[in-house]
Amino acid sequence: MLNSADQIVNKIQVDEKFLLGGKPKLVDYQHLAIAGAIDIIHPITYIDSAGAIAMTLANGEEGQIKIVRSHGTMTGTVTITPASFEDSTIAFTTTKQTWWGLFYGGKWLTLATFGSPTIS
């Protein structure tokens, strides 16, 4: 089914408000290379590590999507423990591993993974 012109214009206006209205843009990101908290403000977090480190992920807002990707130097395991998760942890051991999460029903759910980070 084709969208009406009004539906298209409304979508463009909503997208413009999201992209230009002071909210995070898709190009905004966080980079972590030390133990600590992954923020829920940036939609994307890049991680790397020169050793084994632990990170946390706070609860998000209903419907929020979070992407975590390993890159750069990965000589140790980065273990992420979300505050509320359908499993327990997410572990990254090499570069180019990605986890896509959705905060729904009061917990983080795994939408997809690439490069096989370990979900346990």
Q: What is the pLDDT along the chain (120 residues), one digit of tens a residue?
A: 454 444 444 444 444 444 445 555 556 889 999 999 999 999 999 999 989 999 999 999 999 999 999 988 899 999 999 999 999 999 999 999 999 999 999 999 999 999 999 999
**Residues with Cβ within 8 Å of residue 58, at least 6 apart in sequence:** 37, 38, 39, 40, 82, 83
Q: What is the DSSP letter of 41?
A: S
Q: What's the CA angle centered on 69, arms 43 and 74, to 5 degrees?
A: 145
Number of other residues whose CB lies within 10 A of the CB of residue 46: 17
Pick the CATH number of 27-119 from 3.40.50.150, 3.20.10.10, 3.40.50.920, 2.60.120.640: 2.60.120.640
**Residues with Cβ within 8 Å of residue 16, at least 6 apart in sequence:** none
Looking at residue 72, what is its pLDDT? 85
Looking at residue 13, what is its pLDDT? 42
Looking at residue 11, what is its pLDDT? 44
**Residue 20 to residues 8, 26, 39, 60, 62: CA-CA distances in angstroms?**
18, 11, 21, 22, 22
Looking at residue 30, what is its pLDDT? 93
Q: Are the C-beta atoms of 96 and 105 separated by less than 8 Å?
A: no
User: Is 89 in a helix, a strand, or coil?
Assistant: coil
Looking at residue 22, what is its pLDDT? 53
pTM as predicted: 0.78
